[in-house]
A and B are shown apart, each in its own frame.
Chain A
Amino acid sequence: MIARRTALLAAGASLLIAPRALAQAAAPSGPFTLPPLPYAASANEAAIDAQTMEIHHGRHHAAYVANLNAAVAPHSQVAAMPLEQILARLAEMPEGVRTAIRNNGGGHANHAMFWSIMGGRGGEPSGELATAIARDFGSVATFREQFERASTTVFGSGWAFVTVTRDGTLAIAQKPNQDTPLMEGGRVLLGNDVWEHAYYLRYQNRRADYVRNWWTVLDWEKIGARYASAKAGTLTI
């Protein structure tokens, strides 16, 4: 997974110097593309039904990608930038498309991260990450409690995140809509989507039940790898 992420990053970085026409030839609707789900839509059935996964990925996320591509299309310098740089430098984006980039670029980054940390069977974090959670939150139980509270108290659409600094410090954050800590130059260890579209078909108004169940489909090995990347300075979105 890490190898694949790095490869994707390298491809993104090469766009910085590749002529835009070349990038377009490779992906006519690019430069951004919807990443395939890294597992079957039913893989997270313990917490998220397959229909929700299909609509969430194939419709909602796909729309963010399409709208982001449309927003950056007239701005070749922006189109050539890696997503995390675009988001960290929102204030410098062309005014006419800044909100579109914020909403859709944020949506693209958030969802790409979201798919990548699920598909597992829950359980407990291990190794260095487990140590960091104990250090920064006191215990896994307290960490979960704080994250669940952050998830259930976002009013309206948004996300709950765990951010990670270069020195490995963890913290909980809430963001509205598709905003992300990437917009402050931060890095995201993990995050949960609490837009109603993420849970309404199965949980309806019971967001708290969704948030509690969500732990059971996390892949802590992948999250542990994100933690290592963050400390190595190679974590992007």
Chain B
Amino acid sequence: MAFTLPSLPYAHGALAESGMCQETLELHHGKHHQAYVTALNGFVEKDANLQGKSLEEIVKMSYGKPDMAGVFNNAGQHWNHNLFWPCMKPNGGGALPGKLEAKITSDFGSLDKFKDAFKQAGATQFGSGWAWLVVGKDGKLATAKTPNGSNPLAEGTGTAILGVDVWEHSYYLDFRNRRPDYLTNFLEKLVNWEYVDSLLAKA
């Protein structure tokens, strides 16, 4: 097994009070994410070129290659979910660590402007995909959106320090068609800002 499903950093029912029910997390982590890992391992097993490569290397080498679409989709989704889980915590949201808030205010104008831009990115990603907060190559924070299994690592748009899954499986049981409500809830009640701050420090 080249790759394994990481454990969630909280219980599957731990986010239920914050707008992500136990069933959503059990399916999302135990079925969807697991399926990406299983499929990715299947590709690695069959292809010597992928063996011994890191997840990041596989994401980058398969991006934009039609004959590696299956590899990219599953590697990308494994990477995306690995980032996503620790970006949330029980009773998340709330006040941001000082350095992170200062950086956001400096680069977006205000915390509210960042939140609007992030929600806009997520709401306008048509179909399945992700919305991101990235540290760009110029050192500035920016929001981004990517379709399906893609991500800023693949697209070379910067270092992702926050990601939200806007595939319908991420919110349909809790919010049905109301993706904007899911995104607002994500920012106000789910985000682990300390984790985002730690990624900013490393970026």
- A residues contacting B by CB (< 8 A) are 55, 59-60, 63, 99, 103, 155-158, 176-178, 195-197, 200-201, 204-205
Contact = CB atoms under 8 A, between A and B. Distances in A.
A125 B50 CA distance: 45
A60 B177 contact: yes
Contact of B173 (A63, A99, A155, A201): A201
B169 A200 contact: yes
A205 B127 contact: no
Interface string B168-192: 1100110011000000000000000
Interface stretch (B14-22, B27-35, B79-87, B112-120): B27-35
B172 A201 contact: yes
B169 A155 contact: no
Given A155-B148, A157-B128, A176-B127, A195 B168 contact: yes
A205 B173 contact: no
Nearest to B35: A205
Nearest to A99: B126
A59 B177 contact: yes
Contacts of B73: 155
List the 5 closest pairs (A to B, CB-CB), nearest first.
A156-B128, A157-B127, A196-B168, A156-B148, A177-B127
A120 B126 CA distance: 31
B167 A196 contact: yes
Contacts of B177: 55, 59-60, 63, 197
B186 to A, nearest CB: 18
Nearest to B147: A156
A155 B149 contact: yes
